[in-house]
Structures are given as C-alpha cells and as structure tokens.
Chain A
Amino acid sequence: MGFMNRFKHFLGDQLLGNNWGVHPDDHKRPAADAPVRVMPVPARLYLPLQQHLGGAARPTVLVGQKVSKGELLAEATGMVSAPLHAPTSGTVVAVTEVTAPHPSGLSLPAIILEADGADEWCELTACADPFALTPADIGRRVAAAGVVGLGGAAFPSAVKLGGALRAEVTTLVINGGECEPYLSCDDRLMRDAAAGIVDGIRLMLHATGARVALVGIEDNKPEAIAAMQAAAAEFAAVQVRPVPARYPMGSEKQLIQVLTGIEVPADGRPADIGVIVHNVATALAVRAAVREGKPLISRLVTVNGNCVAAPGNVEVRIGTLAEEVIAFAGGLKGDGLGLARRIMGGPMMGMQIPHWRVPVVKGSSGILALDAAEVAAAEPDPCIRCGSCVKACPMGLLPLEMSARIRNEAYGEAIDYGLKDCIACGCCAYVCPSKIPLVQYFVHAKGELAAQDRAKLRGEATKKLALQRQERLDREAREKAEAAAKRKAEREAAAAAKAAAEAAASAAPAAAATVGEGV
C-alpha cells in the first residue's frame, strides 16, 4: 500500500469517524504477481460430502463404479445443499471418512476417487444464449453444477440467487475485496479472467432481477481494478468501485455499507435491504455452469506463508490433498523446519489444520504455512481496558466486556452485549496489546450457545416422547380394563342367560307335569 493510500485512509478515518477494522501487513506479494500454475490431477482425490453450508450431499455412485469428469457423485439433500461432481475421470475406490479442513481435526464422510489419467469430460449441456433463459432456469443450472460461495463460507449460490429473486433485490454487490492478508486468488482471477467474471456478473444480474452490480475491490489491487474496469467498460450495469484496503472490508455487511451506504440490520440479512453479495470467483463459476454446463470441480488456491519456498496461486482440482498442493508449488523451505502453524483459508478467519493430509474443498481459498514469527503465540496478560478492541470492532461491539462475561460463563449477558452480531473477524484479538484471545472466546461462546440450544430442543423432544409413552401406557391399561369388564359382562350375561334357560327348562317339565297331572 502506497504512502498516498495510507494518507487517504488516515484522512477518511479521522474525518468520518469511520475507523473500524485493522490494517495488517497484507503479505500478498510476491504470490499475487506470480502467474497461476495449473496443478496436474493427483492420483487420488478425497471429496468430502459436505463442502458447503447446509445438508451433506448423498452419494449416488457405488464403490468400483467408473465415472467421467464432471459426472454427479453425490446429490443435494434438502433445501440448502449442493451436489458434488467428479473432478476427473476415474474409479470410485471408497466411501469413507477423511480429516476435515477444520480445527477440531475430526473427520467427514467422503468419496475417494482414483484418477485414470484420461481426464475425460462427461457429456455437457452448453447454452449458447443464456440471457434467453428464465432466471429460474439459470438458478437450476447453477444448483445442478454444485456452485457454492467461493469466498470461504461456501453457501450454495443457487439458494442465494433464488432468495434474491423472491426478495426482489435491486443491487448485486460483487465481493472482490479479498481483505484477508496472504490471499491473492481472487486478485489473480480478476487480473486473468476479468471478461469471464463480468459475463458471470451479468448472468447473476439476469438471474436475480437486480438492476446494478457494484464490484468492490480493495485499492491494494490496482492491476485487478484496471482489468475489471476495462472488462466492465461497455456494460453500464456493472460498476467497478475501488474501496479502501482495510480488514474486514470483504465481510458482506461492511462491504455493503461502504458501497451502498446502507447498514444491514442486526437481526436481518442483506436481502432485507435489497442487496445480495457474491464473490468474484463465484461469478466465474456461475458463468461456467450456465454457459458451458460445467460443474464446479476446481478452484484457485493461494499457497503462501514464510515457510513456503515458492509462494503463488495454483489451480487445483477439488479433493486434492494440501500436502500434494504444497509439494507441487515447490514444497516447504528446509522440509518444513520452523513450521509453526498450518492454515486452510486466510490467516484471520481460516481454519488451523492438524496435518497436511487434508483435502482442498470448494471453500478453500488458501493453504498457508506460517513460521513462528508470523504466529502470535504470546501468553495473554490481563485486560488493561485500553479500548483498542472497541475501536477495531467493525460491528461496533465491546469485545472486552463480552469476553469478561464469557470467561465467567455468563453467556446470557454476553448476548446482551451483542454476541450474536459478532462476525468472528478477529480484529479484536489482532489489536489487543495484552494478546487476549478475544475472538476465540466469542467462537467458543457461539458454539456453547448452539450446543445449549440443541440440548434444549432435545430435552423438549424427549419430554414429549416420555409423555406420549405415559399416555400410551394409560390407554393400554384402560383398554385392557375395558376389555376385561366387557368379557366379565359377557360372561355374566351368558351365565344369566344359561340360568334363565335352566330355570325355563326346569319350569317346562314342571309345567308339563302339571299339564300331565291335569290330563
């Protein structure tokens, strides 16, 4: 970032009182300037069934089945879900569990595909004039291609497009912010494939009925801004807007506020104010899905960090192990000596992973190998109430107050301080002079509250089951008693009838005798 930019930010911050966020060292170059390397298909691909938000996909292939590139491996389940396609041609060798790109180190069900080396596409249904399609048709094609948000959250794109159409949004915000330090895959994509991205944006405009698309790009990416402006020059509906480089500019609520001046309400969604946000890489994936019928089977991943020998961007197939991506990108310096932390995603919001044998999924934007100098591993000191975290918080919360509540497990009070509005961006922990792991407290509290909610729902469900069982037992006892009473009544009636009959029989001979006597 140049001196002028810093000056501009300083002026803007001070004059507008708009000084949320942090300015970490971006570490984007030289990785951003190196040309993209295309990684060959590895021998085996590890494809988790849940690479998106929502329900896990359901496998539609059998072990031993041969599939071609782009063929459906697992179908979407439920309203919010995405299908999974074969990133190359080959044989399904197992449906098993693999380590998830997640800090817990737990595993996820996954399909393992052995590549046959031919890399042959299945039959694709291209579309020559996608603007003749109805918005719903575009949504269907995007859903069938398994496109999810490629910025990191991996929300199924078709669900978002459909929701935007129903909510009648007016503005499409395209996120080219890439505010996370170290990452440059979106930057590279905008430089190399600006025309394709703009085409994808126009398709998304058509699919959502929005009138204008605002492409927000941080001003530390001048090449990407120039390329996008050139590509969008002939389309009035697509406007490229440079935004100040500041973390977390790429968070949807912050980007919307900077570009449109409207704030997303605390308990609302962007669609409530007529806006939806999509990532630039998602726009390109939408274009491939709609124009060529190609499913999402590969993505650009930034390999970066002080331990990486040759930082850069690599195009990899989904399901490639991080280990193999690093090896292809040039390996680690000194065979990984001095490696302090492995991260998938960005350094601020990415996932720390336990080892390198973790597959690249649809939402993986980076693979980072950080050394001890890049990792803040100091022992936390007590809070000095300096208020740095309050200034940095982009949501205007009070991290110091919330973390104090959470430390004492007063989660309810933390909610009153706005815990639910926390986007877990990590600005607070980044600026804290006492190195208090503030954002870790908030992530913990959110998980704990979700667990409490689940336990409560479960408790209610089991209580209902216990009540139903009691009702059933009562009913059965009652029915048994009624049946017994009925049988008893029948028995008594039968006995009475028999007695009556006997009485009649004994009366009849008597009568006959009388008659006889009378004769």
Chain B
Amino acid sequence: MIAAVLSLTLLGAALGIILGIANKFLQVEGNPVVDELIAMMPGSNCGQCGFPGCSGAATAIVDGSAPPTCCPPGGKALAVAIAAKLGLAVDLSAIADDGPKIAVIAEELCIGCCRCSKVCPTDAILGAAKQIHNVFREACTGCSSCIEKCPTEALVMRPVPVTLQHWVMPKPLAA
C-alpha cells in the first residue's frame, strides 16, 4: 500500500518537474492559433475591423477582445469557420451577409481623381488621373475601403453576379 502510494507520488512529482522544465525551455514563441486564423482571413489588411491589419484582428479574436464576426469581407463563412476553430458560440444575426459583394464604378460619375485606387489594398482599381477608373472583378475582395473615398459617389458595392459557371445547385430541404 505505502509502496504504491509512494511510487505514484514520486512518478507524479517527477513528471510534473519534467513538464515544468519543458514548459520553460520548449516554449512556443507566439500563439499558433493566431497564425492559423491569419491564414484563414482575407489578408488584404483593409482595416475595416478597426485593428491594424489581419494579424491584429486575429490576435484580438483569440484574446476575446473582438468577436469572430468582426471581419466584414470574410462575412458569415469566415465567422462560422473561426467560431468552429476556437469553439466559440457565434451570433450571426449581427452580420447582414447577403453574399459576397464587389465594388463597381459608375462610369458616368467617375471624374478620374485616383483617390480610390490609392486606398485599394489589392490594387484592384485601374485608372490614371482624369481617366475613368474601373475595378478588376477578380482582384476585388469587397472590403469597401474605396467607397467613402469617392467624392462623386460613383463607387457602389454590388453583389457578385451569378454566372452559369459559378452557379451552385441549392441544397435540398431536409427530410
């Protein structure tokens, strides 16, 4: 009896010390979860979340100081993915996500001021001074940083048009 208690106590103490040493010497620099979140995020550092770039937002989400819904370009899909990764409950009603959107320039209103193309985080806006600008659909992440820069309200966010190639058959209603 005493032998068993002693041996288990000694074993526990020894393992505890080893763990303590391992914690001291093999400590991981930075939080790996933050890196995983950064990999999931859009990466355009648009700043709409109010943090300095995507890495700032990822750190804040892991800290708990920001909700997983704080990334507007990521939308519902990203919020759900982050919540699943961190095991958080997520209130999706907070984000009005009606599908991905992209910026569209109304050519008749554009005066070619170049203010929008300067702020675009992915260089998706093409245009030179006093020339009508245009948006590369494929490069636009829908961060809407450009919208408020436009002096003539020529920029608006529109839902990405559904084409035959991108159409997905709706999920059947559950039985």
Which A residues from 410 to 458 make CB contacts under 8 A with B? Answer: 434, 436-437, 440-441, 443-444, 447-448, 450-451, 454-455, 458
Q: CB within 8 Å of A: which of B136-169?
A: 138-139, 141, 162-164, 166-169
- Smallest distance from the beta carbon of B50 to chain A beta carbons, Å? 18
Q: Which of B42, B124, B168 has the most CB of A within 10 A?
A: B168
Interface string of B34-63 (1 = CB under 8 A from A): 000000001111000000000000000000
Verify if B123 is at the interface (C-beta below 8 Å from A). yes
Question: Contact between A436 and B139 (Cβ–Cβ < 8 Å)?
Answer: no
A465's closest neighbor in chain B, by CB? Answer: B122
Are A463 and B42 in contact (CB-based, < 8 A)? yes
Chain B residue total in the interface (Cβ 8 A):
25
Contacts of A108 in B (CB 8 A): 164
Known: A459-B43, A463-B42. A104 touches B123 (CB 8 A): no
In angstroms, how far is the closest chain B Cβ from the Cβ of A180?
Answer: 20
Q: Which residues of A contact B171 (CB under 8 A)?
A: 406-407, 441, 444, 448
Query: How many interface residues does chain A have, given as a range?
Result: 35 or more
Known: A103-B169, A444-B168. A436 touches B175 (CB 8 A): yes
Contact A451 B169 (CB under 8 A): no
Interface membership of B28, Cβ < 8 A: no
Among A450, A465, A469, residue most surrounded by chain B Cβ atoms (within 10 Å): A465
Interface residues of B in 62-84 (CB under 8 A from A): 77
Assess the A434–B172 pair: CB atoms within 8 A.
Answer: no
Nearest residue, chain B, Cβ from A437: B172
Taking the nearest CB of chain B, how far is it from the CB of A323, in angstroms? 21
User: B8: shortest Cβ distance to chain A, in Å?
Assistant: 41
**B170 located at the interface, meaning its Cβ lies under 8 Å from any Cβ of chain A in the complex:** yes
How would you classify the secondary structure of chain A's contact residues: helix, strand, loop or mixed? helix
Q: Which of B77, B121, B175 contacts A466, CB < 8 Å?
A: B121
Give the residue of A444, A447, A448, A466 whose beta carbon is less than 8 angstroms from that of B122. Answer: A466
Contact of B141 with A462 in the complex, beta carbons under 8 Å: yes
B170 neighbours in A (Cβ, 8 Å): 444
Residues from chain A with Cβ under 8 Å of B124 in the complex = 462, 465
Q: Is A380's CB under 8 angstroms from B166's CB?
A: no
CA distance A469 to B167 in the complex (A): 32
CA distance A374 to B123 in the complex (A): 54
Q: Pick from B123, B163, B166, B175: contact of A468, CB below 8 A.
A: B123
Q: Which residue of A lies closest to B80 (CB)?
A: A409
A447 to B168 CA separation, bound complex (whole angstroms): 5
- Give CA–CA (A466, B77) in the complex, Å: 21
The list of the 7 closest CB pairs from A to B, nearest first, reads A447-B168, A463-B43, A380-B175, A465-B122, A437-B172, A104-B167, A466-B44
Q: Besides A104-B164, A469-B123, 7 other CB < 8 A contacts?
A: A106-B167, A382-B175, A450-B168, A461-B138, A462-B42, A463-B44, A469-B122
Residues on A facing B (Cβ under 8 Å): 50, 100, 102-104, 106-108, 380-383, 406-407, 434, 436-437, 440-441, 443-444, 447-448, 450-451, 454-455, 458-459, 461-463, 465-470
Chain B residues within 8 Å of A, Cβ to Cβ: 42-45, 77, 121-124, 138-139, 141, 162-164, 166-175
